[in-house]
Structure 1
Amino acid sequence: MAVRSPASVLALLTVYMVGYAIWLLLGAPAGDRTSVLANLLLVPPFLLATLVVWTVARLPQVTAAPAWRWLGYGFLAWALGGLIYSGYDLLGLPPFPSLADVGYLATLPCFAAGLTALRRERRGTLQTLSFLTDAALVTLILGALGWQTFFQSTLADTAQPVLALWISLAYPVLYLLLCAATVTLALWKPLGLRRRVIALLAAGLLCFLGTNVLYFGAVARGSYVPGTWLDLGWPLAAFLIAWAAYRCGEAATRPQPNWPQLPSEWWKGLLPHYAVVAAFLVYLALHLGAPLDRPQQVLLWLIVGLFALRQLLVLTDNQRLQLHLTHRAEHDPLTGVRNRSDLEVDLQRQIDEARTWNSVVAVLFIDLDRMKEINDTFGHVVGDHLLQALATRLSEALPADALLFRFGGDEFVAVLPRHDAAAAARVAQTLLAAASKAFQIGPEILHVSASLGIALAPGDAEQATAAIKQADGALYRAKQAGRDTWRFASEQLNSLHMPQAQLEVQLRGALERGEFAMYFQPLIDLRSGRVRSFEALMRWNSPVLGPVSPADFIPVAETREMMGGLGHWAMRESIRQMCAWQAALPGVSVAVNVSATQFAYENFVADTRATLAEYGGTPGLLTLEITESAVLADAMQARQKLLELRALGVRVALDDFGTGYSSLGQLRSLPVDVLKIDRVFIQDSNTDSAFIQAMISMGHSLGLEVVAEGIEDAATVAQLQALRCDLGQGFYFARPQPAGQAVAAMAQGSLLALPRC
C-alpha cells in the first residue's frame, strides 16, 4: 500500500525508537538468542527510514529527490545486511565474512552517492580546487586517526584468510569515502536544503560513522556485547536522517518563515588549520618518545603538503578576488567600460605627459540622442541593452590606445592620447557612423544617433576637469546644430575641419537618396574627328552642399570604405545606359572607371558578367578603366582577373598611365587593350614632347590604343595628331554631360566609323 505522507511513518519510527531505548535501558534479556534478537531489532528502524526518505523523494516539490533515493538505497542495503547477519547467527554459522558484509558495505557508497547528488552552487576553478583540497585534507587526517586508533589494531590482532582480510580493509576505505562526502556536506552547503535539514543530515551521518568506529574499537578490544547502548547509535542515525528528509518534504509543501540571517560560517576557512593541529597533537600523544615509522612520516608530509597547497590556492583565489573587486570598482557594471571614478586622474596624467612630449590629448564627449524617448517607448530594459550594444560599438571603433568611460546615463567620454585635431575629427566621425547603424535589440530594430563634442588638451584646457567641461560645451553646440554631428570646443578648428566632416556626413546615404547621376564625356578619334566612345563619370549633386566635385568626394569615399558600393552602382548604371542606347545608336560603347577597392573585390568579374547578362549588353562594347596603381598593387591577382575579363570579351584600359612608375616588362605582362596617358603630362607645358612620344610609341609597340586625357586647346590636339595619338578626351571637345545630351552630341558626328553591335 502506497504511503501518502512520511509523517505517519516517521511517527511509527519515533515510537519504535522510544520502545527500543527503553528495552536497552531495562537491559536486554540474557539467553542463547540474545545476540540474534539484538541484531533483528536493528532492522525495523532502517526499513521505516527507507519508507520515509523514499516517500519524501516522490513529492513533486522536493528538489533533492535523487539524494533521498540514494540514502534510501543505503538504508535498505543495511537492513538486508542485518537480516542476513541474524540468519547466520541463528544458524550458528560465522557471520564474518558473509553475504551480510555485502549489504553493510553497499550502505556506505549509497550514502556517499546521496550526498554527492545534492545540488550545489557553481564555483570557480580556484574555489573548487580549494574546496577539494580541504575535503581531502580533513578526510586524510580523520582516516589516519581512525587507522591509528581502531582499524590498525583490529586488523593486526586478527588472523584472517585473504577474503576476510580484503573485506576488513574495505570497511575503512568505504568509511573514508563516506567521511569525504560528509566533509563535503559541511564545507560546501547544498542548495535547496535549509540549515536545520543539513544539521539533521550531518548529525545522522556522524552518528552512523561514530557508531561504526566505536564498534570496531570494541571488537578490537573484545568487549563488544550485543544489546548494549552502543547498538542505539545505528537506529538513531537512521532516525536523524529520516527526520531530515521529513523536514525537507515539509519545507517544500508549505512556506517557511523568514528566519534572521545566521552568522557567517567563518569556521569553514579555519577547518584545515584545526585538522592539521589535531593530527599533530594526536600523533604526538600516540608516539611520544617513540620515532615515527616510514608510513607515518609519509602521511605527515602528505598532510603538510596538502595544507601548503591549500594555502597557495587560498592566496591565489584572494588575489583573483582582489583583481575582480578592483575591476568592479573601476568599470561600469552595465556596459563593462570604465566608469568615471578614475576619469579625471587618468586624463590629467595623459595631459601632463602630452605637455612633456609636446603633443595633445583629445577628449570626446559622446551623448546618445533621443535616449529618453527610447526608454519611454520600449522600456528601460531595452534601453539598457541599447547602451550595452552602443558601448561595444564605440569600444570597437576607437583606436587601440584610446580609453572609453561611461560618464553617466547615456553619456560616454573617450580619451585619445597623441591625437591632433584632424585625427580626433576622423575618430569622431567614425564613432557617429557606428552609433547611427541600426541596433537589433530583441525583436526591436532601433535607429538612433549621437552627438559629440571635442576638446584638445593642453590647448582648450590645462586641467582634466576643464577639458571635460569644454568637451561637454562642444557637445551642447553639436546638439544645437541638429544632432548626429560633432563640434570642436574651438571655433577656429570648427571652421577648419567641419567642411570635410560635413561632406562625409552627407555622403553617407547619398546613393540611397538618389543624389548621384552618371555623366558621359566623348572620346574623339584624333585622325577623323569623330566620336568613338563615351567615358561614364559619376557626379554628385547634394541638396545640402550643392554640386560636389569628384576630386572632393571620391577620396573621402575611398578612405571611409564607401567606394565599393558607389563603384558597383556606377557599373550597373553605365551598362544599363549603354544597352538603352543600342536601339537608337547601335554600336555605341562606354568606358567605366573602376576603383582599386572595387577591382580587388573577389567576385568582381562574376558581378560584371552578371550585370551584362541582366541588361543584355555586348561585352565588346564595355571598357573598364583601371588605374595603373590598382593593377600593380597585386600584379599576379590583377593579371588573372584581366585574363578573365578578356575571355569574357570586355576591353580593359590602363588609366592614369605614367603615374604608377610601371616598367615596360610589367606592362607587357598585363592583358590590356587601351593605354590612357594621364592629364598631368598633357597639360604640363614643361613636359617634353619626346616623353609623350615615348609613351605613345610604347603603347603602339604593344598593340594598344592610346588615349590622351585633359585636352583643353587646339595646339594640344595638333601636337597629339603629329605624335600619332589615337584618341583624345577633354574639355576642348566636350564637357561631361547627362545621357540625353551626350547622345545628341554623338548624333551630330559621323557614326560610320563606329563598329556595329
Structure 2
Amino acid sequence: MVVRPPTRPTVALVSQTVYLILYALWLLAAPSGGWAPLAANLAVVPPLLLGVLTVWQMARVSRGPAARTWRWLGWGLLAWSLGALAYSAYDALQLSPFPSLADLGYLLALPCFAVGLSLLRRERRGTLHTLSFLTDAALVTLVLGDLLWRTSIRDTLAGYPQPTFALWISLAYPVVDLLLCAVTVTLALWRPLGLQRRVIALLAGGMLCFLGTDALYYDAVARGVYRPGALIDLGWPLAALLIAWAAFRSVQERRSTASLPFRVSEGWKRLLPHYAVLGVFGLYLVTHLRAALDGTQEVTLWLTVGLFVVRQFLVLTDNQRLQQQLTHRAEHDPLTGVRNRSDLEAGLQRQINEARARGGEVAVLFVDLDRMKEVNDTFGHSVGDRLLQAVAARLASHLPAGAVISRFGGDEFVAALPGHPAPAAAQVAQALLEAAREPFQIGPEILHVSASIGVALAPGDADCAETVIEQADAAMYRAKQAGKGTWRFASEQLNGLHMPQAQLEVLLRGALERGEFTLYFQPLIALRTGRVSSFEALMRWTSPVLGPVSPANFIPVAETREMMGGLGRWALREAVRQMGAWQATLPGVGVAVNVSATQFAHDGFVAEVRSALADYGAKPERLTLEVTESSVLGNVRQARHKLLELRDLGVRVALDDFGTGYSSLGQLRSLPVDVLKIDRVFIQDSGTDAAFIQAMVSLGHSLGLRVVAEGIEDAPAVARLLDLGCDLGQGFHFARPLPAAQAVAAMARLCPASGETEAPLSGWNGH
C-alpha cells in the first residue's frame, strides 16, 4: 500500500493546537484550589502525547534520515510524557521520591532529541566552516552552562556535601540540556539537507522552548517560587506543538527539498542564526559586566570572550578564502581552469598599451581544436570535457613565461604573448601545434587531435584588443582552409617570410619514423691511382609534400630544433650496416659518416658507435667519423677523451671543413685525428693562392694525417691538387652522391678492371 504524504494537518495536530490554546487560556486564568496543582500537572500530558502521535505519523510517510529523526523525536516526546505522568502520580499521592521514574522519563527525553537531530544529513563543509559552527555551538552552550550554574548546578552541589547517586541525577539535568543546546545551535547554523528553512525554524524553536522552559524552571525552583499551574508550564507543550508542526511541514514540502537559490534580499535570513549568537553574547556581557563576579564567573566570562574572538577570526579567515574563491571563479573557466574570456579584452588591451609605450609587440594566438566534434560524437561529452582539460593544461605548459591563455569558448583558446615579435610568435605557435598532436590518455582511451592556430600581432595588425582577436580568429580559419594542423599569420607578408621554414619544420618532425630519409654515398678517390678509397655517407630527404629537400635547407632546421641527435644516430647505424654488407664482396671499402656537434657532445656517443659496429659485424678500421672544428673546440679536453676512446676502438676520425674554423697548430697537435678535409670553398675558389692549400697539405702531412680535398668539379683541379701533394679527392668530377647500389656500380667504373679497391693506408697515425 502506498502511503501518501498528507496535504492538510492531521486530526492529532489540529487537536493538539486547539488543546494548547485552551490550556494557555486556562493558565492565564490562574487556577487555584485544592485540585488545581494536580490538574495542572496532568494537563501537560495530552498535548505531548498528541505530539507523539503526529510526529510518528509523519515518520511513517517520510524517507531517509528524516524518518529516523522524527521517530527519535517521537520517542523523546513520549519519554517526557511518561515522566510527566509519573510526576503527577507522585504528586497526587503526596510523594516526592528522588530519583524516581519521573526523572528517568525526563532524562531520556533530551538525549532522544539530540540523537534525532544528529541523524539529519548535512552538506559537507570545509574545515573553517566546521570550526565556525563548533565555536558558535560552544559559545551558546557556555552561556547556557553559566546560566544553569548560577540557577541550578551551584546550588545542587552545595546541597550535597558528599557525592551520591541523587547528586549525579541532579547534575544530569543540566548536562543533557547543554547537550541539546549544542545540537540545536548546530541545527540552526549547519542546515540539514532536504529540510526547508521554515521546518528548521520550527524544529529549532521547539528545542529552544524545551531549553528555555527548563532554564526558567530551574531558576524558579531555586528561588522557591515555582507552583504547578504557572504560565511556565506552557513551554513544554508548546515545544511539542512546534516539533509536530515541523514534522508535518517537512512531509508536506518534501517535493521541494532542494535548497532555494540565494537572493541578495534574503541574505539577512541566512545570517539570522549568527545574529542570534551575537545577541546571546551581547546579553551575556551586559548582565555580567553590571555585577560583581566571583572567580568562576570571571573565568567563564573570559572564556566566552575568547571564544567570540576566535569565532570572529574564523569568520574573517573564511570570508577572505571565500573572496579568493569568488575572484578565481569570476576570472577562470570552471571546466579547464585557465582564464575565461570575461576580462580577456581588458587585460589584452593593457598589454597592447604597454607594448606601444615600450615599442614592443604582443602576439595573440587563436587556437582551435580540429577534431573535438568527432571526439564528442564518438566517446561522449564527458570524455570530451576531460580532453579539453588535458589540452588546456598542455597548452599552458608550453607557453613562455608571462603568457596568458584563456578559454574563448567551446574548443577555442586565446593566448596573449607580450614581448613576442613575429619570429618568436611563430616558434610558440609551432610548439603548441606539436603539443596538441601528442596523444592524450583519457581513461582507457588514447585520443588524437590537432589544432589550427591564427597569429595576429599588436599594434602591427591592430591596436584594439577586440580587433586583434578577430584578426587572429580570421587567420585561424585560413589555417583550417590550408589543411588544418598548421598555423597562419594574419599578415600575408609575415606568412611569406616565416611559413616556408615553419612548414619545413612541421614536415621534418616525424619524417625519420615515416621512412623518408635515405643514405647516398659519394666516393673518395686516391688522386694518384684513381682508385676508390672509401665512401662518404650523406643524408637525403624526400618529402611527400615538398619532394627532394636539399641538406643545406633541412640540416640547419634540424640542428636548431634539436633533431640532429636522432637523425645522426640513424645515419651512423645505417652507414655501418651498409659497410658491413659490403665487406664480403668489397673488403677494401670504408665509409665516412658526418657527426653533428650535438651528436658528438652526447655522453653516450662512443657507446653508440661501439654498439653499431657490434650489431652489424663491421670492422672499426673501415669506419671514419667526420667531425667539425666547432664540435671539438668547444671543450678540447672532453673532445680529446672521446677521440682517444674512438682510437681505442679502431675507428678513424676526420677533421671536416678544415680551414674554416679557428683551430691553432697547438690544438691540432693535441687532437688524435687521422684525416684533414680541406673545405670546398678553398678548392672551388680560383682566387685561392696555391701556397695556402700547399700549407694545409704540408701541415697535415707533417702531423701524419691524410689530406682530402672536397668539392673537386673539373680535371684541372685534380691536376693542381696532385701537384700540391693532396692524397684524396671528392666531388662531382668523380661521381655525384648515389644510393648504395648505384654507388657500387660507379665504383666499378672508376676502379681498374680487376675491381680491386685501394686498401686503407697504414702508418697514418694521428697524435
Counterpart check, 1:475 vs 2:481: no
What is the match of residue 489 of structure 1? 490
Q: Please tell me the residue identity of whatever aligns with 1:350.
A: Q
| CA shift for structure 1 position 438 | 3.9
| CA shift for structure 1 position 539 | 0.9
What is the match of residue 147 of structure 1? 149
Residues 199-348 of structure 1: pairs in structure 2 closer than 5 A = 199=201, 201-221=203-223, 264=266, 266-285=268-287, 288=290, 290-348=291-349
The answer (yes or no) to whether the contact 2:194–2:259 under 8 Å persists in 1 is no
Secondary structure of 2:343's counterpart equals helix
Task: Give the distance between the partners of 1:600 and 1:99, measured in 2 at CA.
Answer: 94
The answer (yes or no) to whether the contact 2:633–2:639 under 8 Å persists in 1 is yes
Task: Give the distance between the partners of 1:377 and 1:95, measured in 2 at CA.
Answer: 77
Task: Give the distance between the partners of 1:587 and 1:746, measured in 2 at CA.
Answer: 12
Q: Please tell me the residue identity of whatever aligns with 1:187.
A: L
Counterpart check, 1:562 vs 2:568: no
The answer (yes or no) to whether the contact 1:154–1:216 under 8 Å persists in 2 is no
Task: Give the distance between the partners of 1:183 and 1:642, measured in 2 at CA.
Answer: 82
Task: Give the distance between the partners of 1:710 and 1:72, measured in 2 at CA.
Answer: 105
Task: Give the distance between the partners of 1:174 and 1:716, measured in 2 at CA.
Answer: 116
Cα RMSD of the aligned pairs, angstroms, is 5.7
What is the match of residue 765 of structure 2? none
Deviations 1:283-313 (A, max 9, x none): 544664x433454444444444443443444
Distance 1:493 1:245, change over 3 A: same
| CA shift for structure 1 position 517 | 0.8
* Partner residue of 1:185 out of 184, 187, 200: 187
Task: Give the distance between the partners of 1:87 and 1:663, measured in 2 at CA.
Answer: 124
| CA shift for structure 1 position 540 | 0.7
What is the match of residue 354 of structure 1? 355
The answer (yes or no) to whether the contact 2:142–2:304 under 8 Å persists in 1 is yes
Residues 48-63 of structure 1: pairs in structure 2 closer than 5 A = 61-63=63-65
**Identical amino acids, percent of aligned pairs:** 60
| CA shift for structure 1 position 418 | 1.5
Secondary structure of 1:339's counterpart equals coil
Secondary structure of 1:338's counterpart equals coil
Deviations 1:42-84 (A, max 9, x none): 9x979989x9699879x9x514688679879989999999999
Q: Please tell me the residue identity of whatever aligns with 2:354.
A: E
Task: Give the distance between the partners of 1:76 and 1:614, measured in 2 at CA.
Answer: 92
The answer (yes or no) to whether the contact 1:45–1:235 under 8 Å persists in 2 is no
What is the match of residue 417 of structure 2? 416
Task: Give the distance between the partners of 1:569 and 1:514, measured in 2 at CA.
Answer: 11
The answer (yes or no) to whether the contact 2:360–2:419 under 8 Å persists in 1 is yes
Task: Give the distance between the partners of 1:73 and 1:716, measured in 2 at CA.
Answer: 119
Secondary structure of 2:515's counterpart equals coil
Residues 686-701 of structure 1: pairs in structure 2 closer than 5 A = none
Residues 439-588 of structure 1: pairs in structure 2 closer than 5 A = 439-440=440-441, 445-523=446-524, 530-586=531-587, 588=589
Task: Give the distance between the partners of 1:109 and 1:636, measured in 2 at CA.
Answer: 85
Q: Please tell me the residue identity of whatever aligns with 2:567.
A: L
Q: Please tell me the residue identity of whatever aligns with 1:145.
A: L
What is the match of residue 679 of structure 2? 679
| CA shift for structure 1 position 451 | 3.0
Distance 1:372 1:561, change over 3 A: same
The answer (yes or no) to whether the contact 1:620–1:650 under 8 Å persists in 2 is yes
| CA shift for structure 1 position 402 | 1.8
Q: Please tell me the residue identity of whatever aligns with 1:420.
A: P
Residues 738-753 of structure 1: pairs in structure 2 closer than 5 A = 738-747=739-748, 748=751, 750-751=756-757, 753=759
Task: Give the distance between the partners of 2:709 and 2:128, measured in 1 at CA.
Answer: 73
Residues 590-601 of structure 1: pairs in structure 2 closer than 5 A = 590-595=591-596
| CA shift for structure 1 position 739 | 0.9
The answer (yes or no) to whether the contact 1:682–1:708 under 8 Å persists in 2 is no
Distance 1:520 1:69, change over 3 A: farther
What is the match of residue 130 of structure 1? 132
The answer (yes or no) to whether the contact 1:365–1:453 under 8 Å persists in 2 is yes
Task: Give the distance between the partners of 1:240 and 1:556, measured in 2 at CA.
Answer: 82
Secondary structure of 2:535's counterpart equals strand
Distance 1:55 1:344, change over 3 A: closer
Task: Give the distance between the partners of 2:405 and 2:391, measured in 1 at CA.
Answer: 12
The answer (yes or no) to whether the contact 1:589–1:622 under 8 Å persists in 2 is yes
Range 201-210 or range 237-246, more displaced:
237-246
Distance 1:391 1:284, change over 3 A: closer
Distance 1:259 1:415, change over 3 A: closer
The answer (yes or no) to whether the contact 2:52–2:74 under 8 Å persists in 1 is no
Distance 1:322 1:639, change over 3 A: farther
Deviations 1:571-605 (A, max 9, x none): 44334333333443346544444545556777767
Task: Give the distance between the partners of 2:161 and 2:668, measured in 1 at CA.
Answer: 96
Counterpart check, 1:714 vs 2:718: yes
Distance 1:368 1:227, change over 3 A: same
The answer (yes or no) to whether the contact 2:531–2:758 under 8 Å persists in 1 is no
What is the match of residue 737 of structure 2? 736
The answer (yes or no) to whether the contact 1:53–1:71 under 8 Å persists in 2 is no
Secondary structure of 1:461's counterpart equals coil
Q: TM-score, normalised by structure 1?
A: 0.75
Structure 1 gaps, min length 5: none
Task: Give the distance between the partners of 2:482 and 2:547, measured in 1 at CA.
Answer: 19
Secondary structure of 1:356's counterpart equals helix
Q: TM-score, normalised by structure 2?
A: 0.74
Task: Give the distance between the partners of 1:729 and 1:383, measured in 2 at CA.
Answer: 58
The answer (yes or no) to whether the contact 1:182–1:202 under 8 Å persists in 2 is yes
Distance 1:664 1:251, change over 3 A: farther
Deviations 1:145-176 (A, max 9, x none): 3334x234433542331467677556545533
The answer (yes or no) to whether the contact 2:136–2:277 under 8 Å persists in 1 is no
The answer (yes or no) to whether the contact 1:52–1:242 under 8 Å persists in 2 is no
Task: Give the distance between the partners of 2:707 and 2:68, measured in 1 at CA.
Answer: 87
| CA shift for structure 1 position 356 | 2.0
Secondary structure of 2:430's counterpart equals helix
Task: Give the distance between the partners of 2:643 and 2:97, measured in 1 at CA.
Answer: 98
Q: Please tell me the residue identity of whatever aligns with 1:137.
A: L
Range 225-234 or range 507-516, more displaced:
225-234
| CA shift for structure 1 position 711 | 5.5
Task: Give the distance between the partners of 2:85 and 2:616, measured in 1 at CA.
Answer: 94
Task: Give the distance between the partners of 2:525 and 2:564, measured in 1 at CA.
Answer: 29
Task: Give the distance between the partners of 1:223 and 1:46, measured in 2 at CA.
Answer: 30
| CA shift for structure 1 position 518 | 1.1
Secondary structure of 1:460's counterpart equals coil
Range 590-599 or range 179-188, more displaced:
590-599
Secondary structure of 2:179's counterpart equals helix
Secondary structure of 2:484's counterpart equals coil
What is the match of residue 364 of structure 2? 363
Secondary structure of 1:539's counterpart equals strand
Task: Give the distance between the partners of 2:303 and 2:665, measured in 1 at CA.
Answer: 78
| CA shift for structure 1 position 661 | 6.2
| CA shift for structure 1 position 740 | 0.9
Deviations 1:473-517 (A, max 9, x none): 433443443433333333332222222112112223323443211
Task: Give the distance between the partners of 1:352 and 1:438, measured in 2 at CA.
Answer: 38
Instruction: Report the count of equivalent residues.
Output: 730
Distance 1:375 1:152, change over 3 A: closer
Range 510-519 or range 635-644, more displaced:
635-644
Task: Give the distance between the partners of 1:626 and 1:434, measured in 2 at CA.
Answer: 33
What is the match of residue 161 of structure 1? 162
Distance 1:651 1:717, change over 3 A: same
| CA shift for structure 1 position 186 | 0.7
Distance 1:291 1:224, change over 3 A: closer
The answer (yes or no) to whether the contact 1:578–1:617 under 8 Å persists in 2 is yes
